[in-house]
Amino acid sequence: MVELQIKDKRGNIIKYQLGDGRHLLGKSRVCDILLMDHFVSRRHAELLVVDDAVYLFDRNSTNGTWVGNKKTSGVIRLGYDSLVRLGWLEMSIHPLLYEFSVRTGHACKLNEFGKNGAAENSLNVHQLHQPEGNKKSKVLKKKIRN
C-alpha cells in the first residue's frame, strides 16, 4: 500500500491509502478518486499499484498529465520524489507508514497488524478526533487485505 496526497491551489491536502490494483482519477462519478478541478478530464488518468510500485497512465486527457515539467505519454513509473500535476492539482506518492483499520477503528503502524487485522498497542482514532460525549460516530466496516 502507498499513500496518495493531492494538493489543490489553495494548499488543501487530501490523503488516500491505495492498495494493489487500478485506481481511476477524474471528475466522473465512476472514478475511484474524484478530482474537482476545471482543467481535469472526466477520466483523466489511471494509477496502477503493484506492491510498492506505482505506475501512471494518462487516459488521453484534454490538458494532459505532467510529471515534473514534462507532459507524460504512455505508462510512467512514479517514484516517491515524483510530483504529478493534473490541472491545478499537485499529486505525490509516499510510502505508507500507518494504516487505518476501519474494522477495528484503530490507527496502527503497518508492522503491528496481526493475522486477523487487529493491532496491538495502537491508538483509538475516535479518542483522538471525536469530542467528548459524541457517541454518534459510525465506523465503516470493510475487510482489510493483509
**Coil, helix or strand for 127?**
helix
Q: How many Å is the maximal CA-CA distance in the chain?
A: 52
- The region of weakest confidence among 2-6, 9-13, 34-38, 71-75 is 71-75
Distant-in-sequence, close-in-space partners of 30: CB < 8 Å, separation ≥ 6: 24, 43
pLDDT score of 99 = 66
CA–CA gap between residue 9 and residue 59 (Å, rounded): 23
Summarize pLDDT for 61-89 with one digit per residue, the tens: 999 999 999 999 889 999 998 999 999 99
**If you average pLDDT over residues 31-37, what whole number do you get?**
93
